Structure 1
Amino acid sequence: MSEVASTHNLLCSQVSIWFKLFKEGGLEALKPKKKGRPSKVSKISKKNARKMLKKESDEMEALKQELRQVKMERDILKKSLTLFGPSKPKIKR
């Protein structure tokens, strides 16, 4: 093992760990494994979250457009009041 380690410029302890893993589990034991905590959100949930986010974004854009329209109408009405004056109801006698 020390010859292999020195030939490939590795530590002897690392080569012995790999050898032990190979004896216990074969070639599968030497393959890299995923590390870290598994994701709590599944791929399906992520897709649903993206769809909901897109839907909310579209709804927000529609509301912004509607608000712009209402503000424009308000401004037009304000301008018409200044030009034509408030309408006074006719009093019947």
Structure 2
Amino acid sequence: MTAPRLGWWWVAAPVLFVGVVAFWLGHVRFAGFTMAAGLGLAAVLRLVLPNALSGGLVVRSRLVDVFTMGMFGLVLAVITYSLDLTPRR
């Protein structure tokens, strides 16, 4: 028995990793937009690639996967855009 192929997930994973590291370093706005872009990239990859090449991006049906990752990315971008990061007195 052979192990399943992970496919193109590695294209979106480094973008998400950069977002997590940026958040850890305190760059909240950059991190939010970077992670939103990573989710959007994953959604686009899942949409255009066949199932055999999608690998680790395949969780459910194509429509559900694309909708879920796309909406998470969009919501994260809107939340990040609406953050008020000025210090309060």
Output the TM-score relative to the length of structure 2: 0.28
Pick the structure with greater CA Rg.
1
Output the TM-score relative to the length of structure 1: 0.27
Q: Which has the higher contact order (CA 8 A, sep 6+)?
A: 2
